[in-house]
Structure 1
Amino acid sequence: MFKVLVVDDEQWNRDIIKSLGRWGELEMEIVGEAEDGLEAIKLIEHLNPDLIITDMRMPGAGGEQLMRSIHERYPDKKIIVVSGYDDFNYAKQAIRYKAVDYLLKPIDPQELNTVLQKCKEALQQRIERQEIDLELSAKLAAYKKRLGSYFHEMNMEGIRKVFLELHADDLLEASLKPEFIRYYVQELLLFLNELCVANVLSVPLDHLVDHAEVPNSFHQAVDFMSGCYLAAMEELIKQRKFKNKLNLAEVKLYLERHYAEPVSLEQLAKLFFVSKEYLSKSFKQEYDCTVTDYLLQLRMEKSMEWLTLDEEISIKRIAEMAGYEDVSYFHRVFKKHFGVSPGDARKASQGLKMSNEKV
């Protein structure tokens, strides 16, 4: 049911509106009444109505002030103005603040219900758009997750596969207007920039992306994005594959940015085009610890930081953030590393904070 608020300083005027509307048939319900604009704003904050029906001339805060507040703070809400004055200035204010209609008293029942039907259709369309937006956002998130995974693995075929699926995505093609196409292209290009930074790709993104305007056609836009991702991937492969020697600082930086992911020595060696034996030996000689030990150290340091800085984060969530799906295993690793359990570490931190506060 769509919620309606009626605003008029006269009780009998509010009663007339309540009696004339075909509320049930229009899937609407009057949830509140107000005598002036200030009371109406309070009720809007509390009741969150979809539609406000308001008089213009009221003691205190009138209809113009109310419409201005709604326009500034709740632009998605629908407004119907009902007035006893055929005043051009009032009508102009109603237009300025995007009221659905301006009805004169005495109210014509048919005219009122026609406007209510118009509001209902607009509200339904808004809900449908929101549902589509949510579905599109979920789809985009799923595509980004796969693109990120393939990019980190330097899987060129995987990236091509994602963009082929984007080409065939009927929902995206049907739903995306030109302005939305531009938005999603920008989102995916920003994500590509994040991937380049995370993979220590030294060539800036603007060197890889053609500065031509983003196409308005869905399929052309997909081709445009595909070209950007594949160009970046080729640059990353070339940068790692054809270096004279392994850059251990890049390996270390990669681990610092991907410690929460399931990074193995084999995967790391493949990403930097060396054997795992050579990578392991070189890393140990340079940093006096193994790749596995360094990854564990990163995870434990971050876990301790989250435990002590934010008491609202659950230990299970901290385990997941540090790359551990099994919270019991996380507890064992944490206790072995620090000598105390995560819970005890948090309690000790809280006790220290309370002691410092007393001092």
Structure 2
Amino acid sequence: MFKLLIAEDVKIVRETLVNAINWQALGIVLLGAVENGEEVLDWLKHEEPDLLLTDIGMPKMNGLELIEAVKSRKPDIRCIILSGLNEFEHARQAIKLQVLDYVLKPIDPEAIEKVFVNAVEVLSKEREERHALTIAEQAVKEKLPNLTEALPHVAWTGSLKKKKLVEQAMKVVKEGYTRKELTLSDVAAAVGLSDKYLNLLFKEVTGVTINHAIIRLRMEEAARLLKDPTIKIYEICDRIGYTDQDHFRESFKKQYGLTPTEYRNKFL
């Protein structure tokens, strides 16, 4: 079973999504249906859904901003957009944010069911691949001592190759982390690897995912800029690739234990 969270500000649409679809029959547990992006972010503090279905046009934080915020916190959550705004610009932004699918209003339960049948198939395949990868890695680890004794040069070459690939990825991240649109897919394409494999490799070598590395670099640059009182905080937010000041404030406090303003005041 996969866990789903819904974000939709229109009550009648929200209730239709909850009641008109047999989520359990689709292999989905519906965690809840909330009114806005802030409530979604509150949910993420105590629960991690596998899927997020979100409207685009919502108060406080639109669906695209919400997806960006969710991805920065929980990169593995797959997102599906629900909207009556059949515009190319929204679809283009959604592709950049690696949205799994795009559903248009008015609500058609059958169409939504088809989208989620496909989503469950995608997630099931990914779960199976992760499981197979874990088993394969464990098998390699069990055989590694013998291989190292017999073929030390081969073992070292494999390790070196991984480090070189991660170094290339880190170079791409360092050169582009201030770009608002920088994604895992961009970095993976630059080094010629799949998103999933690069993220696994990067975490194996560095201990963090690509997205976490981007956030860390952004926060370090923000800390440096905050020491200059002539630069406004909203300017720093823009310089390091954030579109939402609240999101920037939360990310900064998570890393440094202080809000940007509190951090700046230490140096005045």
TM-score normalised to structure 1 length: 0.41
Identity %: 29
Q: Deviations over 1:120-148 (max 9, x none)?
A: 01110111111111111111111112335
- In structure 1, what is the equivalent of residue 128 of structure 2? 128
Structure 2 matches for 1:43-58, cutoff 5 A? 43-58=43-58
Rounded to whole Å, the distance in 1 between the matches of 2:106 and 2:19 is 13
Structure 2 matches for 1:96-107, cutoff 5 A? 96-107=96-107
- In structure 2, what is the equivalent of residue 79 of structure 1? 79
Q: Deviations over 1:271-292 (max 9, x none)?
A: xxxxxxxxxxxxxxxxxxxxxx
CA radius of gyration, larger in: 1
Rounded to whole Å, the distance in 2 between the matches of 1:124 and 1:89 is 30
**Judging changes above 3 Å, is the alpha-carbon distance between structure 1 residues 79 and 183 closer, same or farther for their aligned structure 2 residues?**
farther
Secondary structure, counterpart of 2:45 in structure 1: helix
Aligned residues: CA RMSD: 2.9
- In structure 1, what is the equivalent of residue 34 of structure 2? 34
- In structure 2, what is the equivalent of residue 186 of structure 1? 158
Rounded to whole Å, the distance in 1 between the matches of 2:58 and 2:4 is 19
Structure 2 matches for 1:313-332, cutoff 5 A? none
- Whichever residue aligns with residue 78 of structure 1, its letter is R
- In structure 1, what is the equivalent of residue 141 of structure 2? 141
TM-aligned CA deviation for residue 85 of structure 1: 2.3
Rounded to whole Å, the distance in 2 between the matches of 1:100 and 1:17 is 18
Query: Where does the alignment leave 5 or more consecutive residues of structure 1 unmatched?
Result: 152-158, 161-181, 191-359
TM-aligned CA deviation for residue 99 of structure 1: 1.4
Secondary structure, counterpart of 2:18 in structure 1: helix
1:66 aligned onto 2:38: no
Secondary structure, counterpart of 1:49 in structure 2: coil
Secondary structure, counterpart of 1:25 in structure 2: helix
1:94 aligned onto 2:94: yes
**Judging changes above 3 Å, is the alpha-carbon distance between structure 1 residues 100 and 184 closer, same or farther for their aligned structure 2 residues?**
farther
Secondary structure, counterpart of 1:59 in structure 2: coil
TM-aligned CA deviation for residue 188 of structure 1: 8.7
Structure 2 matches for 1:206-225, cutoff 5 A? none
Rounded to whole Å, the distance in 2 between the matches of 1:49 and 1:117 is 17
Structure 2 matches for 1:1-359, cutoff 5 A? 1-148=1-148, 151=149, 159=150, 186-187=158-159
Secondary structure, counterpart of 1:47 in structure 2: coil
TM-aligned CA deviation for residue 89 of structure 1: 2.3
Q: How many residues align?
A: 163
- After the TM superposition, which of the residue ranges 64-73 and 112-121 deviates more from structure 2? 64-73
Secondary structure, counterpart of 2:30 in structure 1: strand
**Judging changes above 3 Å, is the alpha-carbon distance between structure 1 residues 57 and 184 closer, same or farther for their aligned structure 2 residues?**
farther
**Judging changes above 3 Å, is the alpha-carbon distance between structure 1 residues 86 and 129 closer, same or farther for their aligned structure 2 residues?**
same
Rounded to whole Å, the distance in 1 between the matches of 2:61 and 2:74 is 17
- After the TM superposition, which of the residue ranges 29-38 and 127-136 deviates more from structure 2? 29-38
Q: Deviations over 1:7-41 (max 9, x none)?
A: 01122211111123331221101112221112212
Rounded to whole Å, the distance in 2 between the matches of 1:186 and 1:2 is 36
**Judging changes above 3 Å, is the alpha-carbon distance between structure 1 residues 59 and 188 closer, same or farther for their aligned structure 2 residues?**
closer
TM-aligned CA deviation for residue 189 of structure 1: 8.2
Q: Deviations over 1:179-217 (max 9, x none)?
A: xxx999613989xxxxxxxxxxxxxxxxxxxxxxxxxxx
Rounded to whole Å, the distance in 2 between the matches of 1:61 and 1:111 is 26
Secondary structure, counterpart of 1:46 in structure 2: coil
TM-score normalised to structure 2 length: 0.54
Query: Where does the alignment leave 5 or more consecutive residues of structure 2 unmatched?
Result: 163-268
